[in-house]
A and B are shown apart, each in its own frame.
Chain A
């Protein structure tokens, strides 16, 4: 082939001179135009949906947060009144601090458990890994609502199997429903149980990518299993760790569905997290303006969390 002409196979071996050459610049021109237009066509739907369901609600939330909008009628601009009210709202503070406490406890729990499970599943020593993997995956199939129901059944204060076993060992039954601390611990357990599968999947993939020769060399040099994990595996897992920690942090800050069926944020409103607070204010009390102000606060917190973690991640890369 001498020139990239569009001549179909079987056309005269000697092309009419001038014909392809005359067509070439136009072709190249239209090709370039097609290549500029094509991505617009490919991305178009996404752009529209992104504007409709992320940018528009985001902008509306900013706007509503300065109004007393209640879902019907015209929103009235009331300046910073919603924010001033939020600053003095003890329920809001309660929900926010409870969410922080939960996140601070939840992230290490998720991280340690899913990493430990991944290490076990990737180790060459343990037997029965295939079936164990399936078991660890079962919670992934279960929706947050059903997960809440399952654990509520197991940890029922008066009827649950767990308290029954505690009594059997002559212990005092734990108030999983009426004690706020016990209820929070239960939430953390359920949440960890539910997301082990996904995080473990990330870790197992990353562990598999660690060259075996590193670990074998260290073993020959007499490094113990813990030393090998501490100084080879863990540092090489840093990018995955960053991912898991960031996603778990965001996931914990917006925890909602599972708690709805586990204990509804109880006892009372003592374990009401921030998203549930926004839901109650916005939908049960139809105070959309005020709920939007709370949304803005949560949004700013999430952005700060993401930026700080990315900053830390970059610093680690440089060092």
Chain B
């Protein structure tokens, strides 16, 4: 009886998830086809001859190693800074009472309504005038603050009882040690979730690298890929392989941290 009732939902779930998987599956399988087979009709789902030649060409023709290093540098440094800064800010919003803090909190929330894309031209001018044009720092520094991260920490620290802080203060623990030694370790789960999200945002970010980077030596993966797609004559065999290479770090991250991501309780509901 239950099995029979489960049938429709199970069927729908499987059909829909198959539809979600097909584009990726087709893309990955195609990347193992030799260039001659990519467009030969009738198309076959699996490669007739499996080859890595697309990957070899992509790796040799483009300076992937450099793009990887650049993207990883940006993603890792920004993530560390984002987690630390968001934790401190969220903590202040949750645990200190002052009117200016409340006003500033509203300002931070408002940044989700006014993303960088909207004020692109003047954001570019600001970064240029700060002397950060065509540097990786020009991507890192503007991306540090995120309303999502600050909000997540604020929500979390609000649930930590004030008595804990009072007790620590009575024992003579200073405000900063209280934060670093007691509060921050408590917020470990939030730190992990935000770190994963931040890494994903920065690894996949397109808009800041597009505005700031000019020298191909500084390119991140996304901008490099865009230059392949933007070409008049797209070299699909290279593009397929290059795109998949760019996904590998995110896939590894997902495999390692799957349980944190899939069960992340982000009812804050803001995204970057």
Q: Give A188-202 interface residues, CB cut-off 8 Å to B.
A: 193, 196, 198, 201-202
CA distance A302 to B116 in the complex (A): 13
> Given the complex, which residues of A lie within 8 Å of B13, measured CB to CB?
120-121, 126-129, 132
Interface check A206, CB cutoff 8 A = yes
CA distance A307 to B166 in the complex (A): 39
User: Is B89 a contact partner of A46 (Cβ separation < 8 A)?
Assistant: yes
Pick the contact of A278 from B16, B23, B121 — CB < 8 Å? Answer: B121
Pick the contact of A149 from B5, B150, B229 — CB < 8 Å? Answer: B229
> Given the complex, which residues of A lie within 8 Å of B207, measured CB to CB?
256-257
Interface check B246, CB cutoff 8 A = yes
Interface check A13, CB cutoff 8 A = no
CA distance A260 to B13 in the complex (A): 31
Interface check B85, CB cutoff 8 A = yes
User: Is B125 a contact partner of A250 (Cβ separation < 8 A)?
Assistant: no
Interface check A150, CB cutoff 8 A = yes
Who on chain A is nearest to B264 by CB?
A201
> Given the complex, which residues of B lie within 8 Å of A161, measured CB to CB?
26, 43
User: Is B175 a contact partner of A35 (Cβ separation < 8 A)?
Assistant: yes
User: Is B262 a contact partner of A134 (Cβ separation < 8 A)?
Assistant: yes
Q: Give B216-240 interface residues, CB cut-off 8 Å to A.
A: 221-222, 225-226, 229-230, 236, 239-240
Q: Give B43-58 interface residues, CB cut-off 8 Å to A.
A: 43
Interface check A265, CB cutoff 8 A = no
CA distance A306 to B106 in the complex (A): 14
Who on chain A is nearest to B101 by CB?
A39
Interface check B256, CB cutoff 8 A = no
> Given the complex, which residues of A lie within 8 Å of B14, measured CB to CB?
128, 132
> Given the complex, which residues of B lie within 8 Å of A146, measured CB to CB?
225, 243, 246-247
Interface check A169, CB cutoff 8 A = no
Interface core residue of B114, B130, B221 (most chain A CB under 10 Å):
B114
Interface check A240, CB cutoff 8 A = yes
**Known contacts A53-B123, A128-B13: A143-B85 contact under CB 8 Å:** no
Who on chain B is nearest to A36 by CB?
B98
Interface check A6, CB cutoff 8 A = yes
Interface check B77, CB cutoff 8 A = no
> Given the complex, which residues of A lie within 8 Å of B107, measured CB to CB?
50, 54
Interface check B9, CB cutoff 8 A = yes
Interface check A298, CB cutoff 8 A = yes
> Given the complex, which residues of A lie within 8 Å of B39, measured CB to CB?
159
A-B contact count (CB 8 A): 268
Who on chain A is nearest to B41 by CB?
A164
> Given the complex, which residues of A lie within 8 Å of B206, measured CB to CB?
143-145, 256-257, 260
Who on chain B is nearest to A144 by CB?
B206
User: Is B204 a contact partner of A50 (Cβ separation < 8 A)?
Assistant: no
Q: Give A167-207 interface residues, CB cut-off 8 Å to B.
A: 193, 196, 198, 201-202, 205-206
CA distance A283 to B133 in the complex (A): 14
User: Is A137 a contact partner of B226 (Cβ separation < 8 A)?
Assistant: no
Interface check A77, CB cutoff 8 A = no
Pick the contact of A205 from B101, B204, B265 — CB < 8 Å? Answer: B265
Pick the contact of B119 from A6, A47, A58, A251 — CB < 8 Å? Answer: A58
User: Is B20 a contact partner of A43 (Cβ separation < 8 A)?
Assistant: no
**Of A18-26, A86-94, A104-112, A287-295, the one touching chain B:** A287-295
User: Is B271 a contact partner of A125 (Cβ separation < 8 A)?
Assistant: no
User: Is B17 a contact partner of A136 (Cβ separation < 8 A)?
Assistant: yes
**Known contacts A120-B9, A164-B43, A282-B120: A288-B126 contact under CB 8 Å:** no
Interface check A135, CB cutoff 8 A = yes
User: Is B115 a contact partner of A254 (Cβ separation < 8 A)?
Assistant: yes
User: Is A256 a contact partner of B117 (Cβ separation < 8 A)?
Assistant: yes
> Given the complex, which residues of A lie within 8 Å of B125, measured CB to CB?
57, 60, 64, 71, 288
Q: Give A134-161 interface residues, CB cut-off 8 Å to B.
A: 134-146, 148-154, 159, 161
CA distance A163 to B253 in the complex (A): 34
User: Is B20 a contact partner of A138 (Cβ separation < 8 A)?
Assistant: yes
Q: How far is the CB of A69 from chain B (nearest CB, A)?
A: 8
**Known contacts A150-B27, A159-B39, A193-B23: A250-B243 contact under CB 8 Å:** no
Q: Give B85-111 interface residues, CB cut-off 8 Å to A.
A: 85, 88-89, 91-93, 96, 98, 101, 104, 107-108, 111
CA distance A169 to B115 in the complex (A): 45
Who on chain A is nearest to B203 by CB?
A143
User: Is A279 a contact partner of B120 (Cβ separation < 8 A)?
Assistant: yes
Q: Give A292-313 interface residues, CB cut-off 8 Å to B.
A: 292, 295, 298-299, 302-303, 306
Pick the contact of A127 from B6, B118, B144, B226 — CB < 8 Å? Answer: B6
Interface check B60, CB cutoff 8 A = no
List 12 contacting pairs A-B, 8 Å CB cutoff, sorted by A: A36-B98, A125-B10, A126-B9, A129-B13, A140-B261, A148-B229, A205-B265, A250-B115, A256-B117, A283-B120, A295-B121, A299-B114
Task: Add 10 more A-B contacts to A58-B119, A126-B10, A138-B20 (CB < 8 A).
Answer: A6-B172, A42-B89, A46-B150, A64-B122, A125-B5, A141-B251, A146-B243, A201-B264, A254-B117, A295-B122
The 6 A-B pairs of least Cβ separation, nearest first, read: A143-B204, A282-B121, A243-B269, A60-B122, A42-B92, A257-B206
